[in-house]
């Protein structure tokens, strides 16, 4: 499973379904030099920015995700869930392990139910093992 490919495919799905202002906001969040700076605030705002509509994947999208190694079907996921998972996968690729662990711990301790569920979904999709104490949460 390649976290970079999965993140890219999730971003394509999220950005094609988001409104133009929401897509611009997401691009600005991703474009930050230090993704950890303001991460929790952005992560928490995803639902308000992109919405919580159910995502219905087209056959090519499902196939592309399966080819990338996503075994778990995403049917029934909402756009905010998918976007939060993509954001965390991107953070896992861009941040050192200790900073990523702090970001995930912050989400798991301060986030609401939807935010925690997306964090656990992202941990499930990560290629590398979850750092330190997060491995226990993952299992």
Task: State pLDDT tens for residues 59-113.
Answer: 999 899 989 888 877 778 899 999 999 999 999 999 998 899 889 888 988 999 9
C-alpha 47/C-alpha 82 separation (Å) is 10
23-71 pLDDT, tens digit per residue, is 999 999 999 988 888 899 999 999 999 999 999 999 999 899 989 888 8
CA 19 vs CA 43, 44, 90, 111: distances in Å: 17, 18, 21, 24
Torsion-angle region of residue 38: left (phi > 0), alpha (psi -120 to 50) or beta? Answer: left
Number of domains forming the structure of the chain: 1
Give the structural domain span for 89: 3-138
CA 31 vs CA 57, 62, 65, 96: distances in Å: 26, 27, 24, 17
Taking the complete model, does pTM exceed 0.85, yes or no? yes
Q: Per the structure block, which two tokens stand in for 5? A: 């490919």
């Amino acid at each position: 499973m390649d976290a970079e490919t999965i993140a890219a495919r999730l971003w394509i799905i999220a950005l094609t379904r988001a409104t133009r202002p929401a897509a611009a906001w997401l691009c600005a969040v991703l474009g930050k030099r230090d993704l950890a700076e303001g991460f929790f605030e952005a992560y928490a705002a995803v639902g308000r920015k992109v919405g919580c509509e159910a995502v219905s994947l087209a056959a090519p999208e499902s196939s592309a995700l399966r080819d990338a190694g996503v075994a778990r079907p995403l049917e029934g996921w909402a756009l905010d869930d998918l976007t939060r998972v993509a954001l965390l996968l991107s953070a896992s690729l861009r941040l050192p392990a200790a900073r990523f662990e702090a970001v995930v711990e912050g989400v798991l301790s301060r986030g609401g139910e939807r935010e925690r569920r997306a964090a656990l979904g992202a941990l499930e999709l990560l290629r590398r093992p979850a750092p330190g104490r997060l491995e226990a949460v993952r299992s």
